[in-house]
């Protein structure tokens, strides 16, 4: 018998500080990628290889939200606070409850505001968040 797995986007949760994200876009709404160089290498003239392991645990999160999502206001507020006095940091907790996957980070900040556009139908806004010391659990 084949193994059956289930994914349900309603079982993906995202908390930014005390704010629970809502109004996700209808396609790919969360992406997380390492911001560092990972493992790099150089090759000497004689062919010897030296590796360097980047110690950074900084990640970049991209959140795609509906234009009317209340989370847009929260993220703009945190960005504005950060620009004003450096207090726009928050923690991050993202979990796929069915897949038992979790990403956390104790210090995160909005790198820049999402682009703003209007059209005939509601569009999406994509936010970029940097996370220091992020980790998958």
Mean pLDDT of 49-64: 96
* Six token digits for residue 72: 């847009």
Domain boundaries, the chain: 9-136
Q: Does domain 9-136 have CATH number 1.20.120?
A: no
Q: In whole angstroms, what is the distance from residue 73 CA to residue 45 CA? A: 55
Q: In whole angstroms, what is the distance from residue 2 CA to residue 21 CA? A: 35
Under 8 Å between Cβ of 16 and 74 = yes
* Six token digits for residue 125: 């806004």
Q: Express each pLDDT in 3-54 by its tens digit.
A: 988 999 999 999 999 999 999 999 899 999 999 889 999 999 999 999 999 9
The whole-number pLDDT of residue 100 equals 85
* 76-104: b (≥16 Cβ within 10 Å) or e: bebbebbeeeeebbbebebbbeeeeeebb
Mean pLDDT of 111-137: 93
Distances (CA, A) of 69 to 7, 34, 35, 42, 45: 23, 26, 27, 46, 56
Run of H or E residues at 53: strand 49-53
The whole-number pLDDT of residue 117 equals 85
């Amino acid at each position: 018998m084949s193994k059956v797995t289930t994914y349900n986007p309603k079982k993906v949760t995202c908390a930014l500080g005390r704010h629970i994200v809502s109004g996700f876009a209808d396609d790919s709404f969360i992406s997380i990628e390492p911001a560092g160089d990972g493992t790099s290498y150089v090759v000497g003239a004689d062919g010897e290889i030296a590796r360097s392991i980047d110690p950074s645990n900084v990640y970049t999160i991209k959140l795609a939200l509906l234009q009317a999502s209340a989370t847009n206001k929260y993220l703009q507020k945190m960005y504005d606070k950060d620009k004003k006095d450096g207090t726009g940091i928050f923690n991050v907790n993202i979990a796929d409850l069915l897949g038992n996957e979790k990403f956390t980070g104790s210090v995160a900040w909005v790198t820049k505001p999402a682009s703003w556009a209007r059209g005939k139908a509601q569009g999406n806004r994509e936010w970029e968040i940097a996370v220091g010391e992020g980790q998958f659990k």
